[in-house]
Amino acid sequence: MKDKVDLSVNLGSLHLKNPVMPASGTFDIRDTLLNMRELNSLGAIITKSIASRRREGNPGPRVWETDGGMINAVGVPGEGVEYFKEHILPLLEEANDTIIVSMVGDSIVDFCALAKKLDNFEKISALEINLSCPNLNNGLYFGVNKDVLGDLIYQLKKSTQKIIIAKLSPNVTDITEMALTAQEAGADILTIANTFLGMAIDPEKQIPRLGNKVGGISGPAIRPIIVRMIWETSQKVKIPLIGVGGITCAQDALEMFLAGASAVQIGCANFSNPYVMLEVIQGIKEYLLRKKYSSLLDIIGLVHKNHF
Ligand SMILES: Cc1cc2nc3c(=O)[nH]c(=O)nc-3n(C[C@H](O)[C@H](O)[C@H](O)COP(=O)(O)O)c2cc1C
């Protein structure tokens, strides 16, 4: 049995030493239990979505635990890009070579101004665009309207030299249409996907459980839907995919690779197990060794070849 296996992967021009990274908003470099060596062993680090200025976020309660996951309506609070530059970016630079900054904006102009600013920071490898946020011009989420989505990605590509990762919203009829639109507009990579809109109600008080009334569902409950979306999208687009939604162990991540994802993100599983990303990296390695593959690349999209 070979004892070496190559976990590295190139998502277009974005090189990752392995395919595992945190999902935006579920991991904070300032309060992680991981030490420097462990942080550096992640494929990349992704920030919480940052905005051009300070944002309050939504009124509480902001999270509610559901069967097989949680609903959150945090609302992307944060101190804004200047604070990020001063207080968070230096910590990230120490921790990992591959930093991906997730961005949120109120309008295309706002998004592009932020991208221009981030373009100046050499150590940022890529920008992930959080499309699950409302466009103040029409109140619709960027990720649910093809024209707005296409226009945003197109304008962003003109505003920055950085690699653009479009994080799609799953709250659409056909995610492959959104994926094709993003690809045509110039997105380099797609992340599939953000959270699913949901709601929980307190029957005693007869009111919504969340201050924002509705929120995004994440966790194991959404994984089969995400796997299906990766499987469908990877047959339609040429650009690489990052899978995210409900991964709690290596087996879960492997489903996404086999469906066609080239990398994965782990979100709320970090809350219950701070070491889950390290365990997933190790589990992928063990699987590849056991199955006698020399590289992760050997299994990406394999389900399409094995079964059609
Ligand atoms: C508390 C919380 C905060 C989040 N914040 C963000 C965010 O700032 N930007 C973003 O693009 N996604 C955000 N997400 C979505 C996650 O990045 C991820 O897409 C989602 O949780 C599905 O992955 P999971 O099932 O592994 O948690 C957040 C999710 C949670 C649970």
Query: What pLDDT is recorded for position 307?
Result: 67
Tell me, in angstroms, the distance from the centre of ligand 1 to residue 23's CA.
Answer: 6
Query: What pLDDT is recorded for position 203?
Result: 98
Question: 139: left (phi > 0), else alpha (psi -120 to 50), else beta?
Answer: left
Cα 294–Cα 297–Cα 299 angle in degrees, nearest 5:
90
Query: What pLDDT is recorded for position 136?
Result: 73
Atom of ligand 1 nearest to the CA of 69: 25
Query: What pLDDT is recorded for position 3?
Result: 66
Angle formed by the axes of helices 223-234 and 175-185, nearest 10°: 50
Query: What pLDDT is recorded for position 113?
Result: 97
Upper half-sphere CA count for residue 83 (Cβ side, 13 Å): 10
Specify the residue with its C-alpha closest to ligand 1, atom 26: 267
Q: Which residues partner with 69 through β-bridges?
A: 66
Q: If you search the block for the tokens 């995004």, which residue do you land on?
A: 216
Q: Give me the chain's average pLDDT, please.
A: 95
Query: What pLDDT is recorded for position 133?
Result: 84
Which CATH topology does 9-57+76-200+219-306 take?
Answer: TIM Barrel (3.20.20)
- CB-based contact 235:304 (threshold 8 Å): yes
Q: Extract the residue ranges of the chain whose pLDDT is less than 50.
A: 1
Tokens standing for 87? 């207080």
Neighbouring CB atoms inside 10 A of 288's CB total 21
Nearest to 43 by CA among 90, 99, 81: 99
Q: Ligand 1 pocket: which residues have CB below 6 Å? A: 23-26, 48-49, 70, 72, 74, 76, 102, 130, 167, 194-195, 218-219, 222, 244-247, 266-269
Nearest to 227 by CA among 196, 260, 249, 200: 260
Q: If you search the block for the tokens 């899978």, which residue do you land on?
A: 243
The conformation of residue 296, written as its DSSP 8-state character, comes to: G
Q: Is the pTM of this model over 0.75?
A: yes
Specify the residue with its C-alpha closest to ligand 1, atom 28: 25
Catalytic residue from among 112, 133, 249, 268:
133
- CB-based contact 7:250 (threshold 8 Å): no
Query: What pLDDT is recorded for position 138?
Result: 73
- Cα 115 to Cα 103, 152, 157, 292: the distances in Å are 8, 11, 9, 43
Specify the residue with its C-alpha closest to ligand 1, atom 3: 25
Tell me, in angstroms, the distance from the centre of ligand 1 to residue 169's CA.
Answer: 11
The conformation of residue 16, written as its DSSP 8-state character, comes to: E
* Tens digits of residue pLDDT in 28-54: 999 999 999 999 999 999 999 999 999
Taking the C-alpha atoms of 265, 270, 274 and 278 in order, what is their torsion angle to the nearest 10 degrees? -20
Tell me, in angstroms, the distance from the centre of ligand 1 to residue 54's CA.
Answer: 19
Which backbone phi and psi does 271 adopt, to 5 degrees? -70, -40
Neighbouring CB atoms inside 10 A of 273's CB total 13
Atom of ligand 1 nearest to the CA of 219: 25
Query: What pLDDT is recorded for position 57?
Result: 87
Q: Which residues partner with 100 through β-bridges?
A: 46, 126
Tokens standing for 59? 């009124």
SS3 state at 120: coil
The type of residue at 71 is I
Among 218, 230, 248, name the best residue to mutate to test ligand 1's pocket (greatest count of ligand atoms within 8 A of Cβ): 218
